[in-house]
Amino acid sequence: MEPVLTAILTVGAIGMLAGLILGVTAKIFYVHVDPRIGHVADILPGANCGGCGYAGCTDLAAAIVQGNAPANACKAASDELAQKIASMLGISVDQQERQVAQIFCHGDAAHAQRKFVYLGIQDCRAAQLVSGGDKACTYGCLGLGTCVQGCFFGALHMGPNGLPVVDTELCTGCGSCTKICPRHIPKLIPVSQKAAAFCSSHDAGKVVKEICEVGCIGCGLCKKVCPENAVEIDKFLSVVDPAKCTGCGKCFEKCPTGIIQSVVLTRDLKKKAA
């Protein structure tokens, strides 16, 4: 009987002591966490994409509750989510226009030259380190899909011609693809923008003509013909101002390489077939 009693009492005592110590410690070292932070964090998408500039959704929730960030700081959240957060905390939020990513390079395998055959690690950041990448154009898309992997929302996939394609239904405009691309080729544009020159090359026209059939040569014809003065030429690259562009299409006809085009918000091709 005695061994049984010893065993039961000892283990019971250890258990109770442990429980006591833990309970007391939890009370003494109680960390007060504002419960609203948890609620806001639940409303946010929870992808931890970092597009807001904070270290994850919980961090942003804390910032919003403390008043350091606006309720619509999350680019991945829809307007109604931002409204929900705002009304829960009793603050107001002003609407911002949604942004989507577009790939500012049309130099696929058929139109852009390569300097050498690259057999290294299949990541654009790695390829960039090898003599500045295997593409002849130092501003063009290397096509190894780093942006596709870096997208938190699955909105990018590699197209058949070696250039990434954006599914603008899924794209939340968080900007992760821009950050992860070593050449920052995916860029965010307002969803209402009607036209853009899909090139990132600042090389002179003569150079571009040799290495890429569709790159922007900076001829300026688009700027001349635009009735709204919506086009500027920034170091041999045409840039469309979305605020002024009406989508009239006069520049499309004049462009010798066809690089300035209307912005088409593309759905995922796979989904289209389904």
The minimum distance between CB 122 and another protein, in angstroms, equals 6
d(CA 1, CA 7): 10
Are the C-beta atoms of residues 54 and 69 closer than 8 Å to each other?
yes
How many angstroms separate the first and last alpha carbons of the chain?
74
Q: Which positions from 24 to 63 touch another protein by CB under 8 A, shown as an x/- string?
A: -xx--xxx--------------------------------
Which window, 7-15, 70-78, 101-109, 234-242, contacts another protein (CB under 8 A)? 7-15
CA 22 distance to own-chain centroid: 44
Nearest CB to another protein, comparing residues 28 and 110: 28
Are the C-beta atoms of residues 105 and 141 closer than 8 Å to each other?
yes
Which window, 4-12, 85-93, 133-141, 239-247, contacts another protein (CB under 8 A)? 4-12
The minimum distance between CB 150 and another protein, in angstroms, equals 14
Q: Which amino acid, 139?
A: Y
Sign of CA dihedral 110, 112, 113, 115: negative
Are the C-beta atoms of residues 99 and 172 closer than 8 Å to each other?
no
Q: Which positions from 68 to 107 touch another protein by CB under 8 A, shown as an x/- string?
A: ----------------------------------------
Applying CB under 8 A, which residues contact another protein? 3, 6-7, 10-11, 14-15, 18-19, 21-22, 25-26, 29-31, 121-123, 126
